[in-house]
Structure 1
Amino acid sequence: MSIDQIILFAIFAAIMGLMFLGPWRHDLVAFAGLMAAVLLGVVPKEQAFSGFGNPTTMVVALILVATAGLTRSGAVSSMARLLADRDRSVSRHIAVVGGVGGLLSGFMNNIAALAMLMPIDLQAAQKARRRAGLTLMPLAFATILGGMLTLIGTPPNLIVSGYRQQVLGEPYRMFDFLPVGSAVAVAGMVFIALIGWRLIPQSRQEGAGDAPERPRRYLARLVVTEASSLTDEPVSQIREQALKAGARLVGVIRHGHALEGPLDDQTVTAGDVLLLRANPSALDEFRSASKLSFPDGRLEPRARKDSEGQSLIELLVPVGADIIGRSAQSFGLVNRYDSVLIGMRRRGIALREALPRQEIVAGDLLLVLIPESRVEDVLSASGLLRLDGGSLPVQREGHMRTAIGLFVLAVLATSLGWVTMPIALGCVVIAYVLTGVLSINELYDHVDWPVIVLLGSMIPLGLALDSTGGTALIAGWIASLTQGYPAWAGLALLMVSTMFMSDILNNNATTIIAAPVGIRLAEQLQVEPDAFLMGVAVAAACAFLTPIGHQNNTLILGPGNYRFGDYWRMGLPLEIIVLVVSIPMLLIVWPL
């Protein structure tokens, strides 16, 4: 080995060790490794930041923004309402929710797909009085499997496609991953739904409190509009629909007066105001599903017009805040800041009457609907403090068709080869802003910057390992170990090695290292490289043994009450299934 190769192998070993031990975040470790490589001269200084301009890095960032547009428009939420059924068995629940999660992951970032479905799974577990740990890990694994269906489903596919373009002059197309990915996903899902979830340790789960801390509930009002699906519906039916969304109907107000008599026997009409006890998420979910409107902040509420993106924000009134001793009305919350006091809690009790006129005192919790462009104005003028995690972007269901149409058009244009994926997604993001699906102020909030830094740092390191002959050296080791055996044995060993690295490192970083190795190994075995590149993509995506190999595994660690050693119990047989199914499929679809 040359000195440069020794230095790069040492840097990669240090990166893998630090990521495995976890003293620092993965993006900092990767960036430190890049800086060390530049200072030691193994990465040219003019190429140090080339990874941040790489198309793969841009695609990952743009996918997250495009996914946020689908979420903000309510497109994903409207699909997910059908998934929570307390009467389903665990296997059926996993098959339904995991199947939808897998399909979503094929056309959006699989991390975002899990983030969408995880609250639904937690809510379903709570309603069914079932431990959430039984279904969260299967859901996470299902979204990882689903990401293998298309080019944009998971970053390893994008990285492998980008590397193929650099080496062979042509990237993979949108659905080139589908034949192998669908076979692996179906086989994996059958195992997860029927057997896998039973392997999750359960003794520690009992009484462990899988459900997250109960969110704060407010007494809030929603206005029935002409377009609402609840118009002329009986209150009894509305009550059931509210409960499904996690809200409780406590009253109906008409012309400023509460309806008297048995509510369930009456019907609501346009202009009525529903009084609900709900947390912010359930309130917006019920509003979006039923096409209701937030109130305009007047004493006798009317429907508020949605002129721009808005957020429901929980605010704490600290001692000395400028708003203390004043009401929302006297402060000018509506007139000056176009914001509405939706709910109010004092000493743990949700206040009900005349919220605009309630005198605000220190310690109150306020739920306020604020246009995104006015958030900082409200906070600076009032002295209120935003609660950590207490901000919820309001769904804009009026833009649902636009968001879905733009995204489908981008997928179609990429599939037909009209434009490349970065260009298609870039146009989608611009169109989202122009059509109001997303505001320009929130674009960068939806980018997972640690992942971007990780990719931008690891790409130059991977290229340096290849240019110095390091990947060819690794390929030679694998070729020597499989000498005398069929070429598929080398493919199998490459996939096993990639899976191992992905479980202890990170699927993105692993793909950057393993893709050049796959090319060099194919060259030494004198076979076509596509099966090896596809094998790297499949193996790198299938990180099921630890909570650090894939971000989806990390997301469920706390809510599922898992330990580090819980993942391999279901993950190890799943990885074996992936190998058994994928290797023959690779040889059939991509002959050597």
Structure 2
Amino acid sequence: MAIEDVGLASSTLVFMVLGLTLGAFIWGRFRYDLVALAALLGSVMLGLVPADDAFMGFGHPAVITVAAVLVLSRGFERSGLVDIIADQIFKVGERLVLQLLVLVGTVVVLSGIMNNVGALALLLPVAMRLAREHNTPPSLLLMPLAFGSLLGGLITLIGTPPNIIISSYRADVAGDNFSMFSFAPVGIAVALAGLAFIVLVGWRLTPKRSGQASAADMFDTANYLVELKVNEASKAKGLTLQQLRDELEDTIPVLAVVRDDDRQAGYAFHGMLQAGDILLLEAGPEELKLLEDKAGLSAVAELEEDDTDTDSKAADASTEEGEAHPPVDTAGLQLVEVVVRTDSMMINRSVRQLRLNHQFGLHLVAVARDGTRLKQRLRDIRFKAGDILLLQGEENEIAESLPTLGCLPLANRDLNLGQPRKLILSLSIFAAAIVAMLLDILPAAVALSTAALISLLIGVLPLREGYQAIDGPVIVLLGAMIPVGEALETSGGAALIAEALLSWGSDWPVVVTLGGLFILSMLLSNVINNAAAAVLMAPIAVSLANGFDVSLDPFLMVVAVSASCAFLTPIGHQSNTLVLGPGGYRFGDYWKLGLPLSIVVLAVSMPMILWVWPLTG
């Protein structure tokens, strides 16, 4: 009895820790890796996880495999693969159905051989450019693209972290893991069904937000690009641009300085302002008043632009004395639109905290969120995942800084952000790792880690980018949650949940309980990270299988599939968050396509799982 009481007390503590953890995940005030680490340390202090085993999860094969896949995926991004794909996709023409078929079909295939977020990152700029060239609202393309990346991840072991976690968990409890293509029969069927639904019906359920594809519409820079003159009495006279920013206590970007008909880009101007200098800058009414009151700058004339691209020209402006002023050429100003990734170092930080200008050589020109340009002061904006930024800087600095900042270019602005093409070499290394896994020469973690190491050694991917590719928050999440998930099992908590489900489903066929497990895991993955959902649901699935005295495999496969199908919210998966800003979506937009797609996945995957992995197998 005493032992039972101890077990009940332990399971109660585990439920309390998990309840608080899930609540913190849903609240979203703290990043999920910090929440997971707090859950781990709390479990150690409560005696649920032995102190000596607290950090064993960071060496777990699933964590190592995820890290290796992230490095290999970044290698694909740098190999020129996107250029080859883009060249073919741009040939599809103006028919929306064909655009969706090619885009979503491509991301499904790519997500099967690389990390699904990486696959989406490859195609997001292609989709944005396609939308702009054909005047298609990107909201019709980007959500289907994100959902396609989730579907493609179901096909192989390395397509998504839940598959890796479930495979490793099977090795722990049954002595053998799932192989590279064990997920393929079910994954391919689900992916094809999902693709057909999205292309034929689902896109009609996405919001049609016109005008989002145009940079001019998104940022409306023509209404804000102005010339200001430095007069003899201006406080700005004799100041450098940085001193001017300090004086204003704001980060209003100066795009160019014109002196004696010579134009110099703002980021390259380091001298002192003189009377007669013309500043070309991006400012709204409030900023203009600030510049006039604090710096004594006076407006020359509003500039008219036909385009915000790097080839744009400023229109003629006149001086205060009425003399004609030569046009200000902005062709040399490198402007790039980027989206803030979910793993970006910019999240919850401001321009000043990042030292964007001093440390990275970039000027922030404008910010758009949820498809709308933010009108507040740039210095006050704390960036969020999915924000779209308009940045200015030198081409080399942009190419070097964007990966470090965790930003993804949205459109081709003649910037070569990649290394020389090494696609064949990259694919050959990856193929060799797959062969080693299929022939049982090496386990997945060792084979893929070896492939990642070789890629770094031979220069397919620079070492610095290799480290940047490893998504630190996801690694911490997995490393911390794996011991917590094991505590759920060792404390008897998983068995208690399974007993409750067994009791509920005792009068029903096993397949009904299996369906309930699928729905529960799918709902959980929409409010917490899908990897965390797989970690928590795996021990429950095993306890259920043991309780019914049936095969473990269909229960584990149900968790693998359902944990990867977070279609209802923008927070359930990184791919969903990544398209939130560029697509101009709102939180409530996702379920309109996501709910029927979830039903399609459930309807197709359940019979496929039971056919490939029978209960009595």
What TM-score comes out, normalization by structure 1 length? 0.71
Which amino acid counterpart does residue 589 of structure 2 have in structure 1?
Answer: D
Deviations 1:71-101 (A, max 9, x none): 2121343233211347232222111110110
Which of these residues, 179, 190, 194, is aligned with residue 196 of structure 2? 190
Q: 1:522 aligns with which of 545, 553, 567?
A: 545
Question: Residues 158, 317 of structure 1: CA spacing in aligned structure 2 closer, same or farther, 3 A cutoff?
Answer: closer
Query: Which range is displaced more, 528-537 or 426-435?
Result: 426-435
Residue 368 of structure 1, aligned match among 391, 396, 399: 396
Tell me if the contact between 2:545 and 2:555 (Cα under 8 Å) persists in the aligned partners. yes
Report the 3-state secondary structure (helix = DSSP H, G, I; strand = E; otherwise coil) of the residue aligned with 1:368: helix
2:137 paired residue number: 131
- The answer on whether the counterparts of 1:27 and 1:454 sit within 8 Å (CA) in structure 2 is yes
Q: Among 568, 579, 584, which residue is 1:545 paired with?
A: 568
Distance 1:448 1:151 in 2: 18
Aligned to 1:442: 465
Please name the residue that 2:554 is paired with: 531
Structure 1 partner of 2:67: 61
Answer yes or no: is 1:498 the counterpart of 2:521.
yes
206, 211, 231: which one pairs with 2:210? 206
Change (3 A) 1:278 1:109: farther
Report whether the alignment pairs 1:77 with 2:69: no
412 and 590 in structure 1: CA distance in 2 versus 1, 3 angstrom threshold: same
Quote the residue 1:177 is aligned against: 183
For the residue of structure 2 that corresponds to 1:428, the secondary structure is: helix
Aligned length: 454
- Pick aligned residue for 2:41 from 26, 35, 45: 35
- Structure 1 residue 247: deviation in Å? 8.8
Name the residue aligned to 2:124.
Answer: 118
Contact 2:554 2:614 in 1 (8 A): yes
Q: Is the 8 A contact 1:315 1:387 kept in 2?
A: no
TM-score (norm 2): 0.68
CA offsets, 1:382-430, max 9 Å, x none? Answer: xxxx999599874233422211111111122212222111111121122
What SS class does the counterpart of residue 81 from structure 1 fall into?
helix
In structure 2, how many angstroms separate the alpha carbons of the residues matched to 1:371 and 1:27? 28
Distance 1:206 1:249 in 2: 23
The 1:249–1:556 alpha-carbon spacing in structure 2 relative to 1, beyond 3 Å, is closer
Name the CA shift for 1:479/1:72 in 2 (closer, same or farther; >3 Å): same
Write the letter of the residue equivalent to 1:455.
L
**Identity between Structure 1 and Structure 2 (%):** 42
- Equivalent of 1:9 in 12, 15, 18: 15
Q: Which residue of 1 aligns with 2:489?
A: 466
**Secondary structure at 2:431's aligned position in 1?**
helix
- Is the 8 Å Cα contact of residues 399 and 436 (structure 1) preserved in structure 2? no
Matching residue within 86, 103, 107 for 2:113: 107
Spell out, residue by residue over 1:252-282, the C-alpha distance to the aligned partner (whole angstroms, 9 max, x if none): xxxxxxxxxxxxxxxxxxxxxxxx9896889
What is the rounded CA distance, in whole Å, between the counterparts of 1:575 and 1:432 in structure 2? 37
Letter in 2 for 1:518: A
1:303-345 Cα deviation digits (max 9, x unpaired)? xxxxxxxxxx973599xxxxxxxxxxxxxxxxxxxxxxxxxxx
**1:38–1:44 CA contact under 8 A, matched in 2:** yes
Give the letter for the 1:92 counterpart.
L
Residue equivalent to 2:420: 397
Counterpart amino acid of residue 368 in structure 1: N
Q: 1:323 is matched with which residue?
A: none
| Residue segments in structure 2 that go unaligned for 5+ positions in a row | 1-6, 222-254, 257-262, 265-308, 314-330, 338-358, 365-391, 410-414
In structure 2, distance between residues paired with 1:208 and 1:45? 52
Specify whether residues 393 and 524 from structure 1 end up closer, same or farther in structure 2 by C-alpha distance, changes over 3 A only. farther
Could you tell me how far apart the structure 2 residues matched to 1:175 and 1:26 are? 30
**C-alpha distance in structure 2 between counterparts of 1:526 and 1:88, whole Å:** 55
C-alpha spacing 1:207/1:583, structure 2 compared with 1 (3 Å): same
Unaligned residue ranges in structure 1 (runs of 5+): 220-245, 251-275, 283-312, 319-363, 376-385
Where does 1:213-252 land on structure 2 (aligned, <5 Å)?
none
Q: 1:193 to 1:214 in 2, by over 3 A?
A: farther
Q: Distance in 1 between matches of 2:499 and 2:333?
A: 62
Name whichever of 30-39 and 157-166 sits farther off.
30-39
Match of 1:484 in 2: 507
Cα distance in 1 between the residues matched to 2:38 and 2:214 = 37
Residues 14 and 119 of structure 1, relative CA distance in 2, 3 Å threshold: same
Give the match's secondary structure for 2:207. Answer: coil
Task: Name 2:438's counterpart in structure 1.
Answer: 415
